Amino acid sequence: MNHIKAIGFDLFNTLITVRPHTIDEAMDRLISSLVRSGFSLEDEPFRRAHHEAAMGFVKESRQSGRETHNRFWISAALKRQGYSVDPQDPQIAQAVDEYFTAFTPNSSLIPGTKDMLEILTRRYRLGLLSNFTHAPAAKKIIDHVGLTPFFDVLLISGELGYRKPHPLVFRKLTELLGVRSNETLFVGDDPEPDIRGAQGAGLQPVWITYVQDKNVPSVPGALPKETGTLDSVVPRISVWKELLVLLGIDDLIGE
């Protein structure tokens, strides 16, 4: 892979994991925020309505490529409980922020990640491209785990307005990295947005399966992953040593 000049990374279940209980804790915080704002909510019905709304909006987002946002899910869930609240309402914005405060303390790096990035920064331009609805929260998480200094480019779908696998987001990544698509490696865990998305945009994908290989528990998404079967020509790695071997780098790091 001597032609590679830059490497892009997915974030969740690629560089970091989030503990499984995080969504429940986040929902507790979201509901508490809404109650403090004066909404009288039935807990379980609201949770169900929010989950159904999230599933609907995310499904639509996957089909269109346009990113959704949590404020729409909350507004739809409130409507089910008799409240007509605009998604842009400050009370909803506050609830979104409260929801994501649960993510930062529950996020942790996959072993060896910083050592690996330290090695790669000496040789490549590095970028991060994450599907995450609320960009401020994603950036807080990235900063909290100490990853911000390693990346020349940080792109979050919530800011871009589009999400992987839409080719626009991969083009933006390579444009800001100052390289061609065929000079860029992209490492991710999710076959549809990360691997097929990178392939469709002309990048060289690398499939990381650390979480599933090590049976690492992680936070479930709003919808299940669209796994499927990947082409056998896609390189697959389980630990960061294997990425360095793939790149022909001799430096040794721990798993």
Amino acid at 58: V
Q: Evaluate if residue 183 carries a pLDDT over 60.
A: yes
Name the nearest CA neighbour of 162 among 51, 76, 63, 246: 63
pLDDT at 112: 96
Name the nearest CA neighbour of 113 among 15, 206, 30, 238: 15
Q: Please, which pLDDT band fits residue 223 given cuts at 50, 70 and 90?
A: very low
Query: pTM for this one?
Result: 0.93
Annotation: CATH topology of 6-17+109-247: Rossmann fold (3.40.50)
Q: Is 185 left (phi over 0), alpha (psi -120 to 50) or beta?
A: beta
Q: Evaluate if residue 253 carries a pLDDT over 70.
A: no
**pLDDT per residue as tens digits for the range 137-173:** 999 999 999 999 999 999 999 999 999 999 999 999 9
**pLDDT per residue as tens digits for the range 75-111:** 999 999 999 999 999 999 999 999 999 999 999 999 9
